[in-house]
Amino acid sequence: MKAIIIKILKKEPFKTISKTVDDLSVDSYLVGGYVRDFLLNKDEKKDIDIMVIGSAMELAKTLKKNLKGSKKIQFYKNFGTAMLEWQDFVIEIITARKESYNYDSRKPNVKIGTLKDDQNRRDFTINSLAIGISKKNFGELIDPFNGINDLKNKIIRTPLNPDKTYSDDPLRMFRAIRFSSQLNFDIESESFESIKKNINRVKIVSKERIVGELNKIILSKKPSIGFLNLEKSGLLELILPEINNLKGIEEFEGRTHKENFFHTLEVLDNISKVSEDLWLRWAALLHDVGKPLSKKFNSKTGWTFHGHEFIGSKMVYQIFKRLKLPLNNKMKYVQKLVLLSSRPIVISEDFITDSAVRRLIFDSGDLLEDLITLCEADITTKNPILFKNYHENFKIVRDKIKAIEEKDNLRNFQPPISGEEIMKTFNIGPSKEIGIIKEKLKEAIINGEIENEYESTFKLMKKLGETLGLKFNEK
């Protein structure tokens, strides 16, 4: 192990960092996520944390001189931290510290500390490992909490009493769950019990930081690991009650409906196998969120969720607003996918008509591919015959889309005849007749009654105007 560590320390930027540390005769360590991911054989992280028993400012300034081509340097005096950019690395240098917390804030009171103090104040054993980079301990792994064993056994555990670690900085509850999801690790049971006890401490964490962790859970390979832990701990109910409300199956007159919480997690896992897009994954998470509010039972039809897509799309806005997620085109994208989320399914179940496909192309525009991807991820039936049939139907829908698109050029549809032209043709001003004619022209194109081109649209417009009693302007 030491040989591999030394090999990495002989590479830049570590080589120059080590030399600088020795020139200044200070004791220094490589710490944090870089060490964790390196020992896990993950892709090299570009964020490097260097801890120094001494002045972080002085080390940063000297390093800037020694590390050729390093860009800007930023100092955070209050925290004894400096940041330096070199190539695509961000090097954070921090003075070893001891932390204490006030009950109403996750901002620590910081005092200069020893290596041991600094390792004690960290969140998890797997993040407390330090590698010596100065002469005295070059390449040595200092691991007072046996983090290396936890890496091997895939365990998230706090170095000190978990109640203290989580209560001091409650963001760590989300970090624990995020790491469990990203790394597919278990949270040690004492730690998990402590999270359950401390969930109300989440009050002192900002929305932005919670969402930061939530997004990392959503972006992990199998996000359901994180969401199941969020649910089990009680945190889900506090931050995303709408997803928590999807839990459970109701029975009436001996009939039950689908369990929508586990279904949603399956859809999220499915989409994560085919897309890295955060917002498409959010759409998968929220696609059924309107179901509890639209749920009805009828003796004839059983359980129904009519209009859940519309209710869900309204809820998307409320959720984004509450969590301070971007209310711009990202929110609109998720909202539109949720609104349209059942449309391709309906098409694929019925006889697949050209006009239904045209309407789908027309309504979804640029979102069409993502919408179909979402709908394919939505197939979670455990019946292998149905599973195969649904997927085959979606293949047919995809083929039809391709064929119709090539022919009709419908994406981001602009009618071949504008409102202006209708006004000119009939010599009229803005009026409701224009809206009626435009809608009928669109319908005729979607239904395949006329081609999506000027000549035939003009002819139909003329006819429609005349039926409405408008006079054709010969000029």
Identify the CA nearest to 326 among candidates 383, 278, 388. Answer: 278
Residue of 5, 29, 30, 49 that binds ligand CTP (CB under 6 A): 49
Q: Which is nearer to ligand CTP, 121 or 308 (CB)?
A: 121
CB distance 92 to 48 below 8 Å:
yes
Which of 6-14, 171-179, 312-320, 446-454 is the region at the interface with ligand CTP (rule: CB under 6 A)?
Answer: 171-179
Smallest distance, Å, CB 149 to ligand CTP? Answer: 17
Identified binder of ligand CTP from the candidate list 122, 287, 308, 358, rule CB under 6 A: 122
Name the segment binding ligand CTP (CB under 6 A); options: 168-176, 221-229, 233-241, 249-257: 168-176
Cβ-count burial of 54 within 10 angstroms (0-12 exposed, 13-18 middle, 19+ buried)? Answer: middle
Compare residues 73 and 90 and give the one whose CB is closer to ligand CTP: 90
Exposed e or buried b per residue across 36-52, where buried means at least 16 C-beta atoms within 10 angstroms of its C-beta: bbbbeeeeebeebbbbb
Residue 438 contacts residue 415 (beta carbons within 8 Å): yes
* Residue 214: both structure tokens together: 């939530």
Nearer to ligand CTP, 18 or 127 (CB): 127
For the CB of residue 179, give the shortest distance to ligand CTP in the complex, in Å: 8
Query: With binding defined as CB under 6 A, does residue 147 bind ligand CTP?
Result: no
What is the rounded CA–CA span in Å between residue 231 and residue 222?
A: 15
Locus of tokens 């054709």: 472
Judged by CB under 6 A, the number of residues near ligand CTP is 11
Find, among 144, 143, 142, 188, the residue nearest to 166 by Cα. Answer: 188
Contacting range for ligand CTP; rule: CB under 6 A; set: 152-160, 164-172, 332-340, 442-450:
164-172
Closest CB 265 distance from ligand CTP, rounded Å:
22
Interatomic CA distance for residues 234 and 86, integer angstroms: 42
- Kindly tell me which residue out of 56, 171, 444, 470 binds ligand CTP, with binding defined by CB under 6 A: 171
Q: Is 53 helix (H, G, I), strand (E, B) or coil?
A: strand
Nearer to ligand CTP, 18 or 181 (CB): 181
Interface with ligand CTP (CB under 6 A), residue from 123, 269, 370, 378? 123
Q: Which is nearer to ligand CTP, 49 or 188 (CB)?
A: 49
Contact 100, 109 (CB under 8 A): yes
Question: Which positions lie near ligand CTP, rule CB under 6 A?
Answer: 32-33, 47, 49, 122-123, 127, 169, 171-172, 175
